[in-house]
Structure 1
Amino acid sequence: MERKHGAYTMIPFTEEEHAKYKKVYSDERQFVRIGPSGYVLPTGWLAHSEDVRTMPLRPDDVFVASYPRSGTTWTQELVWLIANDMNFEKAKSIPLTDRYPFLEEFIFLPSLRWLIGNDLEKLKNIEETMRPAPEVLASTPSPRFIKSHLPMSLLPEGTLDTARVVYVARDPRDVAVSCYHFYKSLKKYAMRATFKEFHELFINDLETWAPFFEHVKEAWHQRNHPNMLFLFYEELSKDLGSAARRVADFLGKQYTDEQYARLLDHLKFDNFQKNTAVNLSEYKKLGIMEEYGNFIRKGKAGGWRDNYDEEMIRRTEQWMADNLRDMDLRFQCNWEFNVEK
């Protein structure tokens, strides 16, 4: 039954929806759908949703927003370096999580408390690490850099009227594969499903931050706003140099060819994958992630083909066609982009 929570409408997951979730994950989270599009968020969102909505903004705030596993981390590093005069030494010495408070990270606290149990020292460390971002950002000096997987409609009110947003989107088939492998590495989720089982949750809008297409469409519809820069992950993969120059233009920065060359080397996938400042190594120390593997995985555009059988391909193509009908938004791995400035 729909009801109000602060400024938002809210519908709790049904028993059937929770049962489908439990087939994939063994954690104890409960979920609600927020707003007209029914964005899926854990009930932990309700604790600070109003703090996020009413968070005071500053004209030099920069948000990097996306649906999860769409190239967020790569884009964050790119944006931060261009905004901060290519300060590679500082970028390597300060974890990306410290440079970019995660706006809604607090939604994970209930499941992490359950995971940690009676380890009071580790619990204290995690609660300090995951303080609500509006609280952290209140004392953060300008310019502030903010990460979020929230759709545009759930970001602080008036975000585009005051701050700048770089939104990155990725082919949902690659997003699904990347999400699956990342969630498997997170102890708090205790995922026990095959990719095919996970994929059912994904295309049926039962994953956190879903529905995927509504999320991307909200940003796409605002792509021509002067404070919005809409990027495709595939665009970054194809020609990172051109994408970097678009970001620099957006942020009012100019650099030499030599500086861009160093930037591209820093962001080259092999180097980026080994960069401990962006690989959530602190999550492993806190016991949130498994010790094996990296947060930065393969970074391959079009790699979904290695994970989908024929039935999944057909169903996913139909799902994409249904959601993109009457729109000029397209996810293409053949590098033909319809990007409007």
Structure 2
Amino acid sequence: MSFTCEPFKGKYADVYERVTGVKDALYEINPGKYLCRFVYKDMIQRVLEAPVRQDDTWLVSFPRTGSTWCQEMIWIIGNNLDFETAKNTLQQFRAPLIEASASLYTFADLFKENFTDSVEYVNNFPSPRFIKTHLTYRLLPSEIRKVKPKIIYLMRNPKDVCVSYYFHCKVLHGFNVDFELFCELFLNNAVCYGGIFDHYMEFWNMRHESNILILRYEDMVSDTREAVRKIAKFMEKSLSEDDITSIIEFLSLKNMRKNRGCNMEPFVESKNGPDFYNKIGIHFVRQGKVGDWKNYMSQEITRKFDEYIDKNTRETGLSFD
């Protein structure tokens, strides 16, 4: 499949230029109306051509669906409960985000001792690889369709995703707009990585494929033990009940917030100095709650989201309570 990649245009593109000070901050990839940071335009083809291995496990998701938590779960299960490495090695180095060189380009100095090119880093990573991405299915390496590695796809209620994404963009990328405007961008598929349902439906429509496991964040939160069991079974890993208990404890919200291996603290401190989360009162690992959107969305915004969700899920079998 061939793609076009052109600067994102229109009134919402003007918002990004005004806030970031970067002209053509986002590019639009078609088909798919996928929005990416300007630096990703030079990576598209290399990602598509990246080799895929049978023993890979890929975690794919739209941003802020709980992917850091889920990826930590996957990595720990796949690495025989190696909690020490999980605490002492950044997740980006042991379970790399294939597009990290683009999505986290402002933190390149933190990566430079390990890699300057995240695609090359993934290509050379020893097996078994536990790879993370927020790319849509059509932008994943072409070999995925033939090799069919294990793919875990994570979904979350778009309302909670929007709230979490708002704070993520504010804390990690300095994208300082008011919440109402961010919601407008989100509802008009004008946030980085594009429209959430364009992302969701590609995988939802493949949910019966044997190499794809669809998970919902809400289910993982309500029954984390069952989520660990489900992932372990899919990965063909045997766990005792004590193992599962240890994983759940390690991945508790309290411990995730403290774990510098996955809480992005080294990233924000490299730009903003020590103890940054406490200074601003916002953490990369926020509440982890289901339904946190109720604390932020007005009745009018809630109505718009309800209409947006209904329009995109009607007669699909997909729902969000």
TM-score, length-scaled by structure 2? 0.91
Match of 1:323 among 299, 304, 312: 312
Q: Percent identity?
A: 30
Residues in 2 aligned to 1:123 and 1:75: alpha-carbon distance in whole angstroms = 24
Which residue of structure 2 aligns with residue 41 of structure 1? 36
Question: Is residue 214 from structure 1 mapped to residue 203 from structure 2 by the alignment?
Answer: no
Match of 1:158 among 139, 143, 147: 143
Which residue of structure 2 aligns with residue 291 of structure 1? 276
What is the CA-CA distance between 1:125 and the residue it aligns to? 4.6
In structure 1, the residue corresponding to 2:87 is in which secondary structure?
helix
Cα pair distance change 1:93/1:232, threshold 3 Å: same
Match of 1:273 among 238, 253, 257: 257
Question: Is residue 244 from structure 1 mapped to residue 233 from structure 2 by the alignment?
Answer: no
What is the CA-CA distance between 1:177 and the residue it aligns to? 0.3
Residues in 2 aligned to 1:123 and 1:91: alpha-carbon distance in whole angstroms = 21
Q: C-alpha offsets along residues 173-223 of structure 1, whole Å, 9 cap, x if unaligned?
A: 00000011111112xx43232111111111111101011101011111111
Residues in 1 aligned to 2:292 and 2:108: alpha-carbon distance in whole angstroms = 37
What is the CA-CA distance between 1:107 and the residue it aligns to? 1.8
Contact 1:20 1:201 in 2 (8 A): no
Which residue of structure 2 aligns with residue 232 of structure 1? 216
Consecutive aligned runs of 4 or more in structure 1 exceeding 6 Å deviation = none
Amino acid at match of 2:123: A
Amino acid at match of 2:57: V
In structure 2, the residue corresponding to 1:286 is in which secondary structure?
helix
RMSD (Å), alpha carbons: 2.1
Which residue of structure 1 aligns with residue 162 of structure 2? 176
Tell which deviates more after alignment, 160-169 or 245-254: 160-169
Amino acid at match of 1:260: I
Contact 1:26 1:191 in 2 (8 A): no
Which residue of structure 2 aligns with residue 314 of structure 1? 303
TM-score, length-scaled by structure 1? 0.86
Which residue of structure 2 aligns with residue 103 of structure 1? 98
Q: C-alpha offsets along residues 250-307 of structure 1, whole Å, 9 cap, x if unaligned?
A: 0111111111111111112222222121111220243179812421111011110110
What is the CA-CA distance between 1:92 and the residue it aligns to? 1.7
What is the CA-CA distance between 1:22 and the residue it aligns to? 4.0
In structure 1, the residue corresponding to 2:271 is in which secondary structure?
coil
Residues in 2 aligned to 1:137 and 1:101: alpha-carbon distance in whole angstroms = 7
Structure 2 runs not aligned, ≥5 long? none
In structure 2, the residue corresponding to 1:33 is in which secondary structure?
strand
Cα pair distance change 1:57/1:85, threshold 3 Å: same
Contact 1:96 1:277 in 2 (8 A): yes
Cα pair distance change 1:195/1:144, threshold 3 Å: same
Q: Aligned pairs, how many?
A: 315
Amino acid at match of 1:312: I
In structure 2, the residue corresponding to 1:287 is in which secondary structure?
helix
Contact 2:95 2:130 in 1 (8 A): yes
Residues in 2 aligned to 1:125 and 1:265: alpha-carbon distance in whole angstroms = 29
Cα pair distance change 1:201/1:136, threshold 3 Å: same
Structure 1 runs not aligned, ≥5 long? 1-5, 113-121, 333-341
Which residue of structure 1 aligns with residue 5 of structure 2? 10
Which residue of structure 2 aligns with residue 82 of structure 1? 77
Amino acid at match of 1:185: V
Question: Is residue 31 from structure 1 mapped to residue 17 from structure 2 by the alignment?
Answer: no
Q: C-alpha offsets along residues 297-325 of structure 1, whole Å, 9 cap, x if unaligned?
A: 11011110110111101111111111112
Match of 2:16 among 12, 15, 21: 21
Cα pair distance change 1:236/1:9, threshold 3 Å: same
Cα pair distance change 1:238/1:160, threshold 3 Å: farther
